[in-house]
Amino acid sequence: MVLDLYSRKVIGWSMKPTLAKDIVLDAILMAVWRRRPNEPVIIHSDQGLQYSSGDWQKFCQKHNLVPSMSRRGNCWDNAVAESFFSSLKKERIKKRIYKTREMARADVFDYIEMFYNRIRRHSHLDGMSPEAFEAASK
């Protein structure tokens, strides 16, 4: 999941059955496609193996991304992302059982693209949704 720290908008995400490096590249590719950055952009992550791969480093260089990693064992360095996943679990996934992976993916899509980015209010954004905040900031 790629979250814009300024607006709290989820701009890239991916789901796979396993935690492979391509899940990270898919999410970042979605974010790059949506934002099309001209200036260098800092991409902050935890210290997962996916973020130390050669493919990840090449991808970052190609797309003008500057990698930044959390300190080992310090969840506070990635607090905004941790908060998003906590909200996703509490507000949508907790106590649900999905019959198929595709049903789970569709529900996560609905949460991120239809609710979280467009409707869910954030105290950090003065009570606005990420999309409303971005629109007001232009």
Residue 129 buriedness (CB in 10 A; 0-12 / 13-18 / 19+): buried
* pLDDT at residue 75, rounded to an integer: 67
| Residues 54, 38 contacting (CB under 8 angstroms) | no
Question: Considering the domain 2-137 in this protein, what is its CATH number?
Answer: 3.30.420.10
The per-residue pLDDT for range 9-25, each reduced to its tens digit, is: 999 999 988 777 778 88
Which residue is associated with the tokens 């507000």?
A: 91
Q: How many CB atoms lie within 10 A of CB 42?
A: 9
The per-residue pLDDT for range 17-51, each reduced to its tens digit, is: 877 777 888 888 999 999 998 888 888 877 766 67
Distance CA 67, CA 41 (A): 9
pLDDT, averaged across the chain: 89
Q: For the chain, what are the domain ranges?
A: 2-137
| Residues 119, 129 contacting (CB under 8 angstroms) | yes
pTM: 0.86
